[in-house]
Amino acid sequence: AQTVTQSQPEMSVQEAETVTLSCTYDTSESDYYLFWYKQPPSRQMILVIRQEAYKQQNATENRFSVNFQKAAKSFSLKISDSQLGDAAMYFCAYRGVNFGNEKLTFGTGTRLTIIP
Amino acid sequence: KAGVTQTPRYLIKTRGQQVTLSCSPISGHRSVSWYQQTPGQGLQFLFEYFSETQRNKGNFPGRFSGRQFSNSRSEMNVSTLELGDSALYLCASGLGVRAFSGANVLTFGAGSRLTVL
C-alpha cells in the first residue's frame, strides 16, 4: 500500500517571500502521479500542480513549482512570491495508474499561513 | 463548463438514521470517487465508480455504499449513522481512463458537510 507523509503540520511565510512544503511517499510502483491540492477555508479542494513520475522535469505552474526526487521518493512544493490568497491547507497526494487503482492517497496536510 | 456539484451542502442527522449524498460530475467525466474528511483521520478514500461499476473500494464498513447511474451521476448512502460519521464528504470526478496527455486529474466538488447528533 502506498503512504504519503507530510511532516510539517503548519508553516508560515511572510508575504512576497518563498516557502517550501515537504512531502515524502512510499510505493513499489514505478509509474504514478503526484499532486498538490490546496484547500482554503471554503473547503473546496483545488489542484495546484501535478507531476507524472516518468517525467524527470519538475512541473511548474506560475508561482508554484515542485522538486521531484524519484529515487528519494520526495515531492516538495515551492511557492514563490507568496500572496495572502495562498493561505490554505495543502495536501500532497499520490495516485496509481493501473486500472482499478486510481484512488488518491493523501498526506495529513500542511496549514500555510501568510503573514502580511 | 460546470464543475462537480454536490448536494446537499450541509445536513444534520441523528444517530441511527440514514443519509444519501449526491454528486454530479463534470460533463464527459465517467468516473466518480468519494472521500471522507475528518479532523482525526484526514482524507480517506471511500469508493470509486466508473461506468456504473464500482472498481475500487476503501476500508469502510458495509454501512457505506454507493452507486453510479448511466448519466455518471453518483450517490453514496450511509445507513445506521454513528457520531463518528460526522465529516465532510468530498466527491471527485475524472475521465476514468488514462488520458493521452498524461495525468488524469480529479476535480473535486465543494463537499457535503454531515453532522450526526
Residue A100's pLDDT is what? 64
CB < 8 Å to B38, chain A? none
Q: Which of B55, B108, B113 lies nearest to residue A100, judging by beta carbons?
A: B55
Contacts of B102 in chain A (CB under 8 A): 52, 55
pLDDT of residue B92 exceeding 70: yes
B106: number of CA atoms within 13 Å, CB side?
A: 30
Question: What are the tens digits of pLDDT across the range A28-62?
Answer: 988 899 999 999 988 889 999 999 898 889 999 99
Q: Where are the beta strands (DSSP E) in chain A?
A: 3-5, 10-14, 19-21, 24-26, 32-39, 46-52, 60-61, 64-69, 74-79, 88-96, 104-106, 110-115
Residues in chain A: 116
Residue A94 pLDDT greater than 90, yes or no = yes
B41 touches chain A (CB under 8 A): no
- B106, B112, B114: which to substitute to probe chain A, counting the most A Cβ within 10 Å? B106
**What value does the mean pLDDT of chain B take?**
91
Is A96 at the interface with chain B, CB within 8 A?
A: no
Partner B contacted by A3 (CB < 8 A): no
Asked if B110 and B92 touch (Cβ cutoff 8 Å), the reply is: no
- Inform me whether the C-beta atom of residue B92 falls under 8 Å from chain A C-beta atoms: yes
Using a CB-CB cut-off of 8 Å, the residues of chain A touching B94 are: 102
Q: What is the DSSP string of A31-53?
A: SEEEEEEEE-TT---EEEEEEET
Chain A residues with beta carbon closer than 8 angstroms to that of B34: none
DSSP state of A28: S
- Pairing mode, strands B42-50 and B31-38: antiparallel
Q: Residue B74 in 3-state DSSP?
A: strand
Is B108 within 8 Å of chain A by CB? yes
Q: Is the pLDDT of residue A15 over 80?
A: yes
C-alpha distances (whole Å) from A7 to each of A11, A26, A38, A76, B15 are 11, 14, 17, 11, 35
- Classify burial at A9, counting beta carbons within 10 Å of its beta carbon; exposed 0-12, middle 13-18, buried 19 or more: exposed
Q: Rounded mean pLDDT of B3-17?
A: 96
Q: A13: which residues sit within 8 A by CB, 6+ positions away?
A: A19, A79, A82, A112, A113, A114, A115
Q: What is the pLDDT of residues A80-93, one digit of tens each?
A: 999 999 999 999 99
CB B36 within 8 A of CB B116: no
| A50 to B105: CB separation less than 8 angstroms, yes or no | yes
Q: Chain A within 8 Å of B107 (Cβ-Cβ)?
A: yes
- Are the CB atoms for A88 and A71 separated by under 8 Å? no
A99 pLDDT above the threshold of 70? no
Instruction: Indicate which of A29, A104, A108, A111 best probes the interface with B, i.e. most B CBs within 10 Å of its own CB.
Output: A104
